[in-house]
Structure 1
Amino acid sequence: MTDTEITRASVGLRSERGPILLAVMLSVGLVAIDSTILATAVPAVVDDLGGFTSFPWLFSIYLLAQAVSVPIYGKVADLYGRKPVMLLGIGLFVLGSLLCGLAWSMPALIVFRLVQGLGAGAVQPMGMTIVGDIYSLAERAKVQGYIASVWAAASVIGPTLGGVFADYLSWRWIFLVNLPLGIAAGWVMWRRFDESVERRKHSIDYLGALLLAAGGTLLLLGLLEGGVRWGWDSPSGIGIFVAAVALLAAFVAVEARTAEPVLPLWIFRRRVLNASNSGAFVVGVLMLGLTSYVPLYAQGVLGHGALVAGLALASMTIGWPIAATTSGRFYLTIGFRRTVLMGALFVIAGAALLLPVSADSALWQLALPCFVMGIGFGYVASPGVIVAQSSVEWQHRGVATGTNMFARSMGSAVGVAVFGAIVNSRVADSAPAGGTLDLQHLSAGVLAPAIHAVFVCSAVVALALLLSGLLMPRRALTDGPAGTPADAPPVEA
């Protein structure tokens, strides 16, 4: 079939980049807030709709839909252009938000969260790809800092806004508030962002997309629900991983033969992409350890309230944008490899500072390690995305960006599984014979060692960032010519 493949983007006057960036930040902000805003409103949702045992799916289904769709959107954007995919994502997100706000039952709300997740799967990588298209390598670091600031603000605004809506208005406004903001972002994107495209014939890899979505869904589902809804060694637990591996193996076989694969296998032959994606994976793992258990430690062990506990975690989201904004000064002078290694050292130092935290510690002793690790994440994640984009040709930038974000999503899913299993095993050891313990009502004496085990595991995992930094080439391709072969290796010293 005949369609278009993007070769370059043009936005006319430089002054028009401002509205486009604003639209990207607004769109990404909606996705960022929506990933946290629901947490504080769960009791209100359950009181209204029922389905207490099903509410975890409100988060799992969103993560699943977002994660498995990211690499597919990345490839579609390289074929059709960034603008239509971004508008599709905003449209799906707004539609899902409207349906969530009108949901009449818990199953309906779960299905509509899936629609939201499919929209989010397009918005986040397309926002990063558009930034990579319209800003130079030197400018991108500063812009990445702006976007990181959006995530920082969302991590604080989301839970607070969710609590306000649930307590004083209705939990439905959590979703309905997205409508005018999403429409405004879509309108600016439609009016201000123009792309120049080159028409050519191509074939769409429908089978590859289907196999990737199915295999990725089963893999993430097994990681998210293993040890929760079924045992790891149960027939269901084993069977879902066997099916996932079979589907993903079939996906690799299809991608090796198809003319235009949805996820080109040459991505895994590029050292620079393997380094940036492995770093994104580890960052995803560690972020889940912090976001899931630092607030719980502050509340259940140190005895602080929910708002103060959230501030401890917010210190991470303060450090991240500071590092993301300043990272350009480093990778333009000392290179991407040394910048990532520097970030890895910050993460390791922060993880080490978590180890002596105890029930007698002050809140700042919990917040400081989060701040230091946030700085490390900024020096690893932001340069990682930029070097991934810059190491490929224009028409492959969507795939490179989507793969990087898919790696982070996979890391988050693994983090959920690993850290959850660690805490659950420690909690189970403290349960009375034949009884169970409610995690929300555990004593500090039980919670402290359980969560401290997560801190120890995080310190070990943080060492893996050094390996990803060492894997990064000393010099990598930066915005090379469009004629560079798709399978050309990165330039290495």
Structure 2
Amino acid sequence: MIAIMAAMLFAALNQTIVGTALPVIVADIGGMDYFSWVFTIYMLTTSITAILVGKLSDTYGRKPFILTGIGIFILGSFLSGTSVNIYQLIIYRGLQGFGGGMIMSTSFTAIGDLFPPRERGRWQGMMSSVFGLASVFGPTLGGYIVDTWQWNWVFWVFLPFGLVAFTMIWKMFPNVKSAGKTSVDYVGAVILALTIVPLLLAFSWAGKTFAWDSMMIIGLFVWSSIALVIFIFAETRAENPIIPLHLFRNSIFTISNVGGLLMGMGMFGAIMYMPFFVQGVLGISATRTGFVMMSMMLSMVVTSTIGGQLITKTGRYKIFALMGLTIMGLGMFSMSRMSIDTTLFGVIRNLVMVGLGLGLTFPVLTLTVQNAVDHKYLGVATSASQFFRQAGGTIGVSIMGSIMNLIMADEMKEMMAKATGGAASKLQNMGALKDPQVLMDPDKIAGVKEKVPADMLPLFNQIIQSMREILSTSLSGAFLFGVFVLGVALILISFLKEIPLRLTNQTEEQSEENVEAKSVSS
């Protein structure tokens, strides 16, 4: 478990450390127009790899894939640090994503190989804590490295840690695989990739790079829908399908994954847009914002660890998911009620509530899926759980961003309409102040303020105050959508069938078959 957690921490830290360092990296190597692709390509390759490796690891065992994943991730990290232009960085980050997908998928699945469902709760909680700690320290460490050393060390600093994780898993980790040889569903894998890629691209670009009703976005959704129909047709005829469709007839599997998708929408929405409020509305620096966001992830670490222990001790899990979603929803609702008068203490309190709820829910939805399927489907079930959660994050961030931008545009039009006489023309001339998101760039605001004549400073300050109010209102709309999503998840999980956590890695049917086999043998 130490070996698995070391591998998980290595991948998670490398993922979270890049965020704060990327502006400095792009400023050095150029390519601001392709800035978002550094994240997008990693998300795409991670998602595709995780869902495909799940099934393959059920056939060939977890060990080859987690070792291959660490090796590819180390190579991608090293090459990313050697990038001389944005195109190389994008390619190498995509390579990192292939390795990261293998590590993330097999790490959570490996717990199922080592422990029966009743024992997995505490370890799922510990794994969630590892990811939470990486989310806490990664961004801060990334900022420190680019401020102190060359940005290349963002990618290189943890390479020795990766080599240690590789050695530990190679020496200690058992390889559990299915008996006998089975065919690989290569056709299904290709079609699945052609389904996932356009879907995630559509949600990544919609409302930002392209309008929701643009031909590009509509075309991607149509492409993904057609590919999905072909995939379902192909899987029903495959000898060894990459995703056995009969799993979706299991209500626990389906409800848990849809619930995970909805939870991901709320979770990533809070992580992505709360810094907008802290920096843009409250005017707190980016460095201090990182420390404020720590409160959410640290509270998640606490409850995921405690919740996992309680699940193992009591054998109950549904109550923790319901409690977690309720607390998380209340925290998100409190976020939607924030205004320019909200104190920093109020912000931290809301983040702690979301983190506490997230920590209780996060381990449960993976555990329920693993407990509900045969051990031979452990890899594909766990990978599906990871994929739905990550896809939910992509979808949620996109929709909440669109809501924020729509409200912001309407509020700006209303503000401009209320401006009269000379004030209206002066507002129009302040081009840098037409978008409230400029509040995220204090240096730009300071530059504009220096050029403002003394007699216009009261008007300038009034505009800044109005823009803070507009940004706060638009974020409230986005967080309110998060409340709705978590409410739907809460209702859905209330229908989740709670079955006893097994004390072995065999289902009841398998245990009965073994007893009958022993009886016949005797």
CA drift of 1:332 comes to 5.3
In the aligned structure 1, how far is the partner of 2:468 from the partner of 2:177? 60
Q: How does 1:274-313 map onto structure 2 within 5 Å?
A: 274-313=254-293
CA drift of 1:222 comes to 0.4
CA drift of 1:354 comes to 2.0
Out of 181, 184, 203, the position equivalent to 2:164 is 184
Out of 226, 232, 238, the position equivalent to 1:258 is 238
What secondary structure does 1:257 align onto? Answer: coil
CA drift of 1:168 comes to 1.6
Write out per-residue CA displacement over residues 380-424 of structure 1, whole angstroms, 9 at most, x where no aligned residue: 220111121122222211011000000001101101210110122
Q: Residues 422 and 197 (structure 1 numbering): CA distance in 2 closer, same or farther, change over 3 Å?
A: closer
Query: 1:17 is matched with which residue?
Result: none
Question: Contact 2:62 / 2:176 at 8 angstroms: preserved in 1?
Answer: no
Question: Contact 1:151 / 1:317 at 8 angstroms: preserved in 2?
Answer: no
Out of 330, 343, 349, the position equivalent to 1:349 is 330
Out of 467, 475, 483, the position equivalent to 1:451 is 475
Write out per-residue CA displacement over residues 323-364 of structure 1, whole angstroms, 9 at most, x where no aligned residue: 222224247537322222222221222223223322111112
Count, aligned residues:
465
In the aligned structure 1, how far is the partner of 2:470 from the partner of 2:302? 36
Write out per-residue CA displacement over residues 172-211 of structure 1, whole angstroms, 9 at most, x where no aligned residue: 1111123211111111100111225454121100010011
Q: Residues 464 and 312 (structure 1 numbering): CA distance in 2 closer, same or farther, change over 3 Å?
A: farther
Question: Contact 2:337 / 2:476 at 8 angstroms: preserved in 1?
Answer: no
What secondary structure does 2:16 align onto? Answer: coil
In the aligned structure 2, how far is the partner of 1:185 from the partner of 1:24? 7
Out of 404, 408, 423, the position equivalent to 1:427 is 408
In the aligned structure 1, how far is the partner of 2:258 from the partner of 2:28? 42
Q: How does 1:17-416 map onto structure 2 within 5 Å?
A: 21-197=1-177, 199-328=179-308, 329-330=310-311, 333=314, 335-416=316-397
Matched AA of 1:365: G
Q: Which stretch has the larger CA shift, 136-145 or 281-290?
A: 136-145
Question: Contact 2:53 / 2:65 at 8 angstroms: preserved in 1?
Answer: yes
Q: Which stretch has the larger CA shift, 69-78 or 298-307?
A: 298-307
TM-score where L is the length of structure 2: 0.85
What secondary structure does 2:314 align onto? Answer: coil
What secondary structure does 1:231 align onto? Answer: coil
Q: Residues 137 and 334 (structure 1 numbering): CA distance in 2 closer, same or farther, change over 3 Å?
A: closer
Question: Contact 2:136 / 2:298 at 8 angstroms: preserved in 1?
Answer: no
Q: Which stretch has the larger CA shift, 195-204 or 91-100?
A: 195-204
Question: Contact 1:298 / 1:309 at 8 angstroms: preserved in 2?
Answer: yes
CA drift of 1:480 comes to 5.5
Matched AA of 1:264: P
Q: Residues 301 and 188 (structure 1 numbering): CA distance in 2 closer, same or farther, change over 3 Å?
A: same
In the aligned structure 2, how far is the partner of 1:294 from the partner of 1:424? 15
Percent identical among aligned pairs is 33
CA drift of 1:276 comes to 1.4
Structure with the bigger percentage of helix: 2
What secondary structure does 1:195 align onto? Answer: coil
Q: Which stretch has the larger CA shift, 149-158 or 203-212?
A: 149-158
Matched AA of 1:232: W
Q: Does residue 468 in structure 1 map to residue 448 in structure 2?
A: no
Q: Residues 484 and 96 (structure 1 numbering): CA distance in 2 closer, same or farther, change over 3 Å?
A: farther
Write out per-residue CA displacement over residues 190-239 of structure 1, whole angstroms, 9 at most, x where no aligned residue: 01112254541211000100111121011000000112222211111111
CA drift of 1:476 comes to 5.2
Query: 1:7 is matched with which residue?
Result: none
Question: Contact 1:255 / 1:263 at 8 angstroms: preserved in 2?
Answer: yes
Question: Unpaired segments of 5 or more residues in structure 1?
Answer: 1-20, 486-493
Query: 1:4 is matched with which residue?
Result: none
Matched AA of 1:25: M
Question: Contact 1:152 / 1:314 at 8 angstroms: preserved in 2?
Answer: no
What secondary structure does 1:170 align onto? Answer: coil
Write out per-residue CA displacement over residues 102-148 of structure 1, whole angstroms, 9 at most, x where no aligned residue: 11210111111111111111111211111222123343222223222
CA drift of 1:287 comes to 1.3
CA drift of 1:437 comes to 2.4
Q: Which stretch has the larger CA shift, 342-351 or 112-121?
A: 342-351
What secondary structure does 1:211 align onto? Answer: helix
Write out per-residue CA displacement over residues 149-191 of structure 1, whole angstroms, 9 at most, x where no aligned residue: 2222212211111112212211111111232111111111001
Q: Does residue 441 in structure 1 map to residue 439 in structure 2?
A: yes
Q: Residues 461 and 253 (structure 1 numbering): CA distance in 2 closer, same or farther, change over 3 Å?
A: same
What secondary structure does 2:180 align onto? Answer: strand
Report the structure number with the largest CA radius of gyration.
Answer: 2
What secondary structure does 1:190 align onto? Answer: helix
